[in-house]
Amino acid sequence: MTREGRIRLFVVAGLVGIFEVLCRSGVIAHTVVIPPSEMARSLWQILISGAHNADIVSTFLNVLISSALAISLGFAAGLAIHALPRLRAAIEPLLASYYAVPTFMFYPIFIVVFGVNARAIIAIAVLLSIVAMIASTLTGLDRIPAVLRKTARVFRMSVPVRALLIDLPAAAPHLFTGAKLAFAYALIGVIASEFILSGQGIGYSIAYAYNNFDNREMYGLMLLVIIVAVTANAGLDAVDRRLQARLRR
Amino acid sequence: MTSAEIHAQLTGVTRVFDLPAGGKLHAMGPVDLALRRGEFFSVVGPSGCGKSTLLDVLAGLAQPTSGDVAFEGKPVAGVPDGIGIVFQEDASLPWLSVRDNVAFGLRRASTDKAETARRVDYALNFMGLRDFADAYPAQLSGGMRQRVCIARTLVLQPRLILLDEPFGALDAQTRLLMGDELLRLWRETHATVLLITHALDEAAMLSDRVGVMSARPGVFIDVVETDWPRERDSRVVSDARFGAITARLWEKLRVESLKSIGGKSVAADGGTLS
């Protein structure tokens, strides 16, 4: 582990420790936040009891489906927009300001169109994450050095062969960054949507526990989301950094 | 060397670009150039005079607006088999190891595996890359990456090697040493070499002939024969003739360079030079 990594771990562990002391000493009321150690015990019980297995599976399945859709559709849209410069000039300002719009406010439309089910959740999550993938695809294609395109001509490559052997690997670091962002947005989109338009899933279960004053279960589930989000992001980030380092010019 | 045998030829070649804002830019020509088989020919000229355009046209990467381009007696349309090109910019493929970079063209041509390995090993040794075969370009210096690109061209055993300011981004010492390696490569492969460069000393040191281009639209205003022996290296810089050759090149080029940077009045003052 790097020196910075050790400091980071120390800071996080220190904050958790302080939180534990504040909760245990009553400075922070038990009805507001439970101690982190109790959150961990609650999560452990949730996992071994299997009480929320269906919710966990449902949430992560929705996240995976949303990510896959956002990545593939975003990539395809990015390719199309890149190939049509006039269309790009027209819609690029819209893409740039896209995240200024709170996508969740459209949830009534999705309920009307899809009903209260997984499809509405996936639609919101895809809507939230797809633009990150489109933007990354455009950046990736823009950043392919002109000399590599020239090299492809020297090797007498056809356009499809060039796309596969030169363009795709050259754009890969940006595409991966897009995929990483799309996953993160999809996770946010799915869990947040489950709060408002679902009868199952981790988001729904957190809201249900909150409404029933079940702090223990609520914080246990929150901890699960945090652990999954941080672990997945750290894993993707490690691959991302390796790709970036290798492809740095 | 059968010096009379013409290997590649440009006849009355011009290149005119349409400008985005309307109008046309006459970038180069008319240019006549006959490269002799096995010679080392360099092109020097002021910035923007069309040197790289000349290379692109000869390589089949760009169509001439008028005139004819021939390689080994056949008209050029697209990059012909037998021509290798090294660009100024780093054209190594960063996602491939040095070995895979060098083997890239051979694999594309479906060359037999044993033959590919043999040629790649030879090129890696020749360019001093053997110990870096498994490294990735990002782990190498600019000079080493340019060696990778040269090795990638070398394995294809081109009969005409075109180099577009390949050492432009390197420091002066590395450039001298890379020049030596280029001479060694030229001698061993018996290829014809066309080098585009802005460095007069590099052109004077490496070449059998140096063509001097005018400011845009670039045409050849002088071709200097160096008469260096085929067995030569960077030590020719201490030869008295080296100074005379670079002086003659600069004499021609100074006026053209001033024109290209808009210093026509200075060029006129220095008119005694021409």
Could you tell me the pLDDT band of residue A200, with boundaries at 50, 70 and 90?
confident
Question: A248 CB near a chain B CB, below 8 Å?
Answer: yes
Question: A3 CB near a chain B CB, below 8 Å?
Answer: no
State the burial class of residue A17 (Cβ atoms within 10 Å of its Cβ: 0-12, 13-18, 19+): exposed
- The DSSP code for A199 is S
Question: Does ipTM top 0.90?
Answer: no
Nearest to B10 by CA among B92, B67, B90: B67
Instruction: Return the sign of the alpha-carbon dihedral for residues A46, A47, A53, A55.
Output: positive
Residue-wise pLDDT for B80-125, tens only, equals 989 999 998 899 999 999 999 999 999 988 888 999 999 999 989 8
Partner residue facing A156 (CB), from B79, B87, B94:
B79
Partner residue facing B138 (CB), from A146, A166, A247:
A247
Nearest to B252 by CA among B30, B35, B29, B46: B46
In whole angstroms, how large is the CA radius of gyration of chain A?
A: 22
Question: B17 CB near a chain A CB, below 8 Å?
Answer: no
Residue B138, token pair as written in the block: 């990002």
The span from the CA of A7 to the CA of A42, in Å, is 28
Instruction: Return the sign of the alpha-carbon dihedral for residues B126, B132, B134, B135.
Output: negative
Average pLDDT over residues B160-176: 84
Cβ-Cβ contacts under 8 Å, A157 against chain B: 108
- All structural domains of chain B, each given as residue ranges with its CATH number in brackets, are 6-82+158-273 (3.40.50.300)
Tell me if B94 and A246 make a contact (CB, 8 A cut-off). yes
Could you tell me the pLDDT band of residue A162, with boundaries at 50, 70 and 90?
very high
Q: Which residue of chain B has the CA closest to A156? A: B79
Is it the case that residue B266 has pLDDT exceeding 60?
Answer: no
Partner residue facing B78 (CB), from A156, A166, A170:
A156
Phi, psi of A239 (to 5 degrees): -65, -45
Long-range pairs for A38-46: beta carbons < 8 A, 24 or more residues apart: A38/A216, A38/A219, A39/A219, A39/A220, A39/A222, A39/A223, A40/A223, A41/A220, A42/A216, A42/A217, A42/A219, A42/A220, A42/A223, A43/A220, A43/A221, A43/A223, A43/A224, A43/A227, A45/A220, A46/A217, A46/A220, A46/A221, A46/A224
Give chain B's mean pLDDT: 87
CA distance A19 to chain B (A): 44
Dihedral class, residue B12 (left if φ above 0, else alpha if ψ from -120 to 50, else beta): left
- All structural domains of chain A, each given as residue ranges with its CATH number in brackets, are 56-247 (1.10.3720.10)
Tell me if B95 and A147 make a contact (CB, 8 A cut-off). no
Nearest to A135 by CA among A100, A176, A186, A96: A96
The span from the CA of B186 to the CA of B2, in Å, is 16
The pTM score is 0.79
What percent of chain A shows pLDDT beyond 70?
Answer: 99
Q: Are B122 and B133 in contact (CB under 8 A)?
A: no
